[in-house]
Structures are given as structure tokens and as C-alpha cells.
Chain A
Amino acid sequence: MTNQDFSKKFIFNEKIDSEYLFSMYADDYAYMEEIFATTLEHYDEDVEALKAAFEAGNLQDLKRAAHKMKPTFGFVGLTSIQEQVKKFEDLCQNVQDTDYLKDDFKQIVTTLAECKDLIASEYQKLKAFNANPV
């Protein structure tokens, strides 16, 4: 978490904006591991809140759940997903009913599931890296 030169030994998945992560955490890989772990710990709960709101047809809660989850992706370097969730949040703002969001919701849920796998995989890689740094 400094601006000094630091090691970028860890190679992130190409979908992750590693430069963005380094701008936040520098080469504090142990802390990155913590961030990924915390994200995973709360991930299902946040996705469930999103699903529950959609199933209940509660547009306000759906928007709120998307809003809450949105920055999560930034913290793990998935900036494009953060943008995608923002678009979904904006859609919630612009429709009158969750019925209008069926396709978008389906898409976002699929994306979120893929992201969870990716975050979990990067977490395992970070954990292994921190256990045996090069």
C-alpha cells in the first residue's frame, strides 16, 4: 500500500486488472489474500440478497443489493464486472418492474457465479503463493 517500487511477482488471471490491485495494495500479497478471503466469505450472502429481491419483485431492494455488491469487484480487481453491475443497478433505476429485467438478471447471475469461481481460484493461488513466496 505504498507508491514505491515493489515486486509484482504474482501473476493474476488476465481478467483481473492487476495494475488496479497494485495501485491499492502495492505488493502486500498477504493483505490481498485477506481481501479475497473476505470477499468470498460474504459473496453468497450478497448474491442471495440480489436473488431474493428479484424473486420478491422488489425493485428497490434489487437496486440496493446491486449497489452494495458493486464495489466488491473493484476490491478484487474485477473492474469490468464492477461496471457491469453498475449498469444493472442503473437499469433497476430505470424500469418500473422487475419483469423488465428478466434477461439482464439472468445474465448478471451467471456473471456473478463465474466471478465467484474466478475469485476463489485467485484466492487459492494467492494463498499458495504466500505460503511459499518465490
Chain B
Amino acid sequence: MSWSAVIVEDLQVAADYLAKCCEKSGQVEVKAHFTNVAEALDYLNKNSVDILFLDVEMPGANGFELLDQLAYYPKVFLTTSKQEYAYDAFEYNVTDFLKKPFTYQRFIDALNKLTTAGGDNNISSTASDHIFIKSDGKLVRLNNDDVLFIESMGDYVKFVTADKKYITHNTIKNLEEKVNRNHFIKVHRSYIINITKIDDIRENDLFIKGHEIPVSKSHKAEVLKRLNII
């Protein structure tokens, strides 16, 4: 299996069919299925998945409201029977728009977009020069160059830049896979730092713009390897 996925769909037959397509593809493992946004959101903010198959119109909040509240962005496939949502799908930068019911071949074509550059909507992509985070009810773009480090705060993390701090619902473990690894490195269970921002390193700490950050023994060798030591 290449990708983990969650299905958010209130029509049982559609959810079953989608799960069957995932299983048949041998590429997607469905971790959970939810019939409403509230339960899905609760799960998704505690568990990181690669793909979200998301219906739009459901009881209570709709699929776009889920995306508005999600602390990170998996690859999103909108599954709806309404073509009118295509524009919103574009606005939310979803990977593909699957009009229900769709054929298995159409499903495979959609999956194939995950492996092409044009379909990569992961705005927290490891190859990207920036990251979008949810903070204070809005999406905030942070350029990699502006982030000094990321600090764990339990169920939240703090993104620290030279002049601001942004708190968002996420975990260091999840972010470790999402941030650009050319810029960022985990130095401690509670810290990911921007490798280009280190001012100096001492025994078990490093300093970035006056911030003292612990470096655990298990990560120190990797950190030193990444530095341009003459």
C-alpha cells in the first residue's frame, strides 16, 4: 500500500464502492469512513492520512467546511454528484473531482494524478518552498526561509518566525513528514528546526536568533552531518 486514506461520505453505497476501488487498486489503504464532518475532523486532526476522499453535501457541515478546519492538507479527492462544485474544488486546490458514480478506470486515473507534478496539491509538500498553516481561523502562508523552528505544545505546535509566532493544531510527528526536508530537520521530539537558521551549536543545544533549542543525542549526529562544517 502506498497511501493511507479516509472516506467522508454519507451515502453508504458510494462509500462501499470507493472502499472497494481502493482495495482493488492495491495502492490505497482506507483507515476509516465517516458519514459526517464533525467525526471526520476529530479523527483527521489526531491521525495523519495521505488522502481524503470527501463528499461535499452531508448532514451538518459540508466538505469544504471540513477543509477549512483541517490542521493540515492531505491530498483531497472530492466525490460529489454535483458538477457545480468544480469551481470550489479548484479554489481549494483539490487533486481531483470524482463525479459519482465513477468508473474504476476513472478512479485509477485520479490516483495517477498523485504521482504527477500537476496533481500535487499538498501545500505542506516536502518539495515546496512554503507551508500553509491554519491559524486564527485562516490559512497563513509561511515561506520556509521565514520559519526559524517549530515547537511542540501537546496537541498543538508553534511556528516561530523572526517576528511572529503561529499556533496550530498539529503534531511534530506529522509535520516531520510534511515539511521540506532540505530546510527542516527534527532535532528533538519537541522541535523541528530550520537548518539554515542555526547560529551556533553547543553540547546539547543549538541557538537560533537567541532561542535555545535542545538537541537530543539520537538526533545530534544527523544534525552535524547536515551542517557545512569545514
Bound pair: A and B? yes
Residues on B with beta carbons closer than 8 Å to the beta carbon of A94: none
- Which residues of chain A (62-108) have a CB below 8 Å from chain B? 64, 67-68, 70-72, 74-75, 82, 86
Contact A24 B103 (CB under 8 A): yes
CA distance A64 to B102 in the complex (A): 21
CA distance A31 to B14 in the complex (A): 13
Contact B104 A67 (CB under 8 A): no
CA distance A70 to B99 in the complex (A): 12
Contact A24 B101 (CB under 8 A): yes
- Beyond A38-B12, A64-B57, whether A23 also contacts B81 by CB under 8 A is no
Residues on B with beta carbons closer than 8 Å to the beta carbon of A53: none
Residues on A with beta carbons closer than 8 Å to the beta carbon of B100: 71, 74-75
Does A34 belong to the interface (CB within 8 Å)?
yes
Task: Report how many A-B pairs have Cβ atoms within 8 Å.
Answer: 57
Chain A binding surface SS class: helix
Contact B101 A74 (CB under 8 A): yes
Nearest CB in chain A to that of B81: its residue: A71
Most chain A CB within a 10 A radius of its CB, from B24, B59, B104: B104
Interface size on B, residues (CB 8 A): 20
- Beyond A2-B104, A24-B101, whether A38 also contacts B16 by CB under 8 A is yes
Range of interface residues on A (Cβ < 8 Å): 20 to 34
**How far is the CB of B9 from the nearest CB of chain A, in Å?**
10
CA distance A31 to B59 in the complex (A): 28
- Which residues of chain B (104-137) have a CB below 8 Å from chain A? 104-105
Does B226 belong to the interface (CB within 8 Å)?
no
Most chain B CB within a 10 A radius of its CB, from A2, A24, A38: A24
Contact A23 B103 (CB under 8 A): yes
Q: Mark B69-99, 1 if CB is under 8 A from A, else 0.
A: 0000000000001100000000000000000
Does B11 belong to the interface (CB within 8 Å)?
yes
**How far is the CB of B97 from the nearest CB of chain A, in Å?**
14
Q: Which residues of B line the A interface, CB within 8 A?
A: 10-14, 16-17, 20-21, 24, 57, 59, 81-82, 100-105
